[in-house]
Chain A
Amino acid sequence: MRLSPDEMIFWQYGFFKLNATIVFTWGLMFVLAVGSKVITRKFSTGMQRSHWQNLLEIIVTGIEQQIEEVGLSQPRKYIGFLGTLFLFVAAASLSIVIPGYEPPTGSLSTTVALALCVFVAVPLFGIEEQGVGNYLKSYMKPTFIMLPFNIISELSRTLALAVRLFGNMMSGAMIIGILLTITPFLFPIVMTMLGLLTGMVQAYIFFILATVYIAAATRVRKRKLGTEAKQ
């Protein structure tokens, strides 16, 4: 039994390989990019607009609003990264309705890659906002004793991010696979619907946690500036 689409390898040359994870990811990327391009090509700035344009506008403004509500005052700066995280995970989850498809997020490699991206992006956004010194100092707050705990927290939350998404997506796929062998018709459909729901929830969780981490990394300085202004 296959636990991850990584195990389905189409082509391999030494270290390089082309497995199902990468192929499905490319498929998703293609659909997302080409779909966006096709829809935004005929974008109107007037009051009359197409249904697809409305849908995309609702999604994008919804993401923007969510980022702002979490506490990032300039959502447009982060929407490229955070929005893509949400859309990629959501698209990967929703595509499970396509027969023969396996979500790339069901591979621990993908989720680790996404978690690593977040892991790198958080300090980058933090440094960009506060500067290197200030950002590094934030690890020693309230006291330097907290430094190892902060580092452990940073690593563990990245791991948790990766494993949570992988576990959920993989378990969903596994349950459907197992149920197909037991009750072939009705039950897998119900579970697929449940999988769609959990997939969306996971996409939201991944997106919102990443937003919260970035917000936490960039907000320290602002809070400090706020207190200085009050004094």
Chain B
Amino acid sequence: MLIDWFTVGAQALNFLILVWLMKRFLYQPILTAIDKREKRIATEIADADKQKGEAQKERDEFQHKNEELDQQRATLLSKATDEAKALRQRLFDEARQDADVMAAKRMETLRNEEHDLQQAISRRTQQEVFAIARKALTDLATTSLEARLGEVFTRRLREMDDQAKAGLAEALKTATGPALVRSAFDLPLEQRTSIQNALNETFSAEILVQFETAPELISGIELTTHGQKVAWSIADYLVSMEKGVQELLQEKVKAEPKLEDAQPETKNQ
């Protein structure tokens, strides 16, 4: 007999036990593990998708911010450039103004210097001429310069033209005080007398004269009365020389600014 019924029963039972064992130790753990893994993978993929989405979002946001920053930067840059241009222009203008002011000041200083120089030259020339004249007169004649000056003044009084003489006579008449004779030096009595005589003779009257010393009249004598004046001084002779000196200085001043204008241009370049 090929079939043993006890063995059949035992094998059926063995098989059922094996089914239970396999379920317990094989299928259940494996399927659970697979399910867990699949779930985990699904979660990870979902997380990854989520993170990807977030990253995308952040990237978009970042790009947007970047663009905004670029725009702001460009705006700020253009603004700064404009401001810098304006500032440059302003500074340039100020510098130019300052330069103009400085140039003007310099011109003024130059002019003052020129004036001072002219005065100095005038003074010096007068003194020199005076000294030369004095020396020459001293050398040429025995008469002192003062005496000669008095003579010249006296001659002038005598040689006055009619119109001037009339004007002076009128002034002498209307004058309340004595006529004032001013000289750079103390006139000797002889000369005083000579002047007094000359006046008396010229105007045919006794004219009251008061003598005064005024150092500012360089080697000269002047007669003033009621607004009228008769004067002679070396200064008169110096006028032509002074003019000549002035012309010379003006030429020099004109030449200098040309040189100065040329210098800033070379600096700018």
Q: How far is the CA of A88 from the CA of B3 in the complex (A)?
A: 20
Pick from B5, B9, B15, B33: contact of A88, CB below 8 A.
B15
The count of A-to-B residue pairs whose CB atoms sit within 8 angstroms is 121
Whether A43 pairs with B33 at a CB distance below 8 angstroms is yes
The A1-60 residues at the B interface (CB cut-off 8 A) are 3-4, 6, 15-17, 19, 21-22, 25-26, 29, 32-33, 36-37, 40, 43-47, 53, 56-57, 60
**In this assembly, does A200 line the interface, its C-beta being within 8 Å of a C-beta of chain B?**
no
**In this assembly, does A199 line the interface, its C-beta being within 8 Å of a C-beta of chain B?**
no
Pick from A16, A33, A112, A116: contact of B25, CB below 8 A.
A33
Whether A80 pairs with B19 at a CB distance below 8 angstroms is yes
Q: With A33-B22, A83-B27 given, is the CB distance from A61 to B34 under 8 Å?
A: yes
Shortest CB-to-CB span from B260 to chain A, Å, is: 90
**In this assembly, does B117 line the interface, its C-beta being within 8 Å of a C-beta of chain A?**
no
Whether B30 pairs with A43 at a CB distance below 8 angstroms is yes
The B20-57 residues at the A interface (CB cut-off 8 A) are 21-23, 25-27, 29-31, 33-34, 36-37, 40
**Residue among A6, A15, A87, A109 with most chain B CB within 10 A:** A109
Q: Chain B interface residue count: which class?
A: 20 to 34
**Residue among B8, B19, B25, B31 with most chain A CB within 10 A:** B8
Q: Is the interface of B mostly helix, strand, loop or mixed?
A: helix
Return chain A residues, CB-CB under 8 Å to B30. 40, 43, 56-57, 60
Whether B6 pairs with A32 at a CB distance below 8 angstroms is no
Shortest CB-to-CB span from B49 to chain A, Å, is: 18
**In this assembly, does A203 line the interface, its C-beta being within 8 Å of a C-beta of chain B?**
no
**In this assembly, does B110 line the interface, its C-beta being within 8 Å of a C-beta of chain A?**
no
Shortest CB-to-CB span from B193 to chain A, Å, is: 146
- Residue of A whose beta carbon sits closest to that of B18: A29
Shortest CB-to-CB span from B121 to chain A, Å, is: 112
Whether A45 pairs with B31 at a CB distance below 8 angstroms is no
Shortest CB-to-CB span from A25 to chain B, Å, is: 5
Pick from A3, A45, A87, A108: contact of B37, CB below 8 A.
A45
Whether A15 pairs with B25 at a CB distance below 8 angstroms is no
Whether B2 pairs with A108 at a CB distance below 8 angstroms is yes
**In this assembly, does B10 line the interface, its C-beta being within 8 Å of a C-beta of chain A?**
yes
Shortest CB-to-CB span from B10 to chain A, Å, is: 5
Whether B16 pairs with A117 at a CB distance below 8 angstroms is yes
Shortest CB-to-CB span from B126 to chain A, Å, is: 120
Which residues of A does B touch, CB under 8 Å? 3-4, 6, 15-17, 19, 21-22, 25-26, 29, 32-33, 36-37, 40, 43-47, 53, 56-57, 60-61, 64, 76, 79-81, 83-84, 87-88, 104, 107-110, 112-114, 116-117, 166
Q: List 9 A-B contacts (CB under 8 A).
A: A4-B2, A33-B22, A40-B26, A46-B37, A60-B26, A107-B11, A109-B8, A112-B3, A113-B7
